[in-house]
Structures are given as C-alpha cells and as structure tokens.
Amino acid sequence: MSVLNKTKWKGGTLQIQLAKESFLHRLAQEREAAKAKKEESTTGNANLLEKTGGVDFHMKAVPGTEVPGHKNWVVSKFGRVLPVLHLKNQHKRKIIKYDPSKYCHNLKK
C-alpha cells in the first residue's frame, strides 16, 4: 500500500487506504445490539414486576381507542393521546362532542 499510495496513474493521483466497514453492515450490528439490550431490559422489568406484584401493561395505539383509567381521552391517528372536547355553541346552547381521532385535519377544525 505504501508503494502505490500517492502515485500518478492516467493523469491522477492514487490514494490507497484500508477499506472502511460498510454502513449497512454496521447498521445491522447496531440494531442487533439494541435488540439484545431491549430483551435484557424487558426480562429485568418482568422480574421486578413479579417481585412487586405489579401488572405489565401494554396498550396498542389504535386510533379511536379510549385510554384506560382516563375518561374522555382517545388515541389519535398518529398514536398521540388527545382529549375529547365538549364544545358549547353560543347561540343554540348545544354541547357538541368533538373526538379528534375521527378527523385528520385537527388544526383546521
């Protein structure tokens, strides 16, 4: 490598170095390490929950589902938890229930 580095060839200068690791290969290794770390932490949490007598609670973020333990809160289209609003019309004195999970353009409303 030292002999051919910085030599002229076809009007250009050669630069020879050791090959670098592939980005995709490094990314796959990082993802495997993160997955292994996550599995270790979840098993540790399960043991802790069993010792304390707690319940492991996982909620799926499905749009329109209510949040357990919180009245008038729902999961939105993008997985965020939003309150259900009760709006009062000034002229008709009618209360309108506005569920943000049913609308995709909340800012316009």
Give me the amino acid identity at 17: Q
Report pLDDT for 33: 92
User: What pLDDT is attached to residue 60?
Assistant: 59
This prediction's pTM = 0.35
Which pLDDT score, from 0 to 100, does residue 54 have?
52
C-alpha torsion sign, points 25, 31, 32, 33: positive
Mean pLDDT confidence for 81-102: 80
* Region of 57 on the Ramachandran plot (φ > 0 left; ψ -120 to 50 alpha; else beta): beta
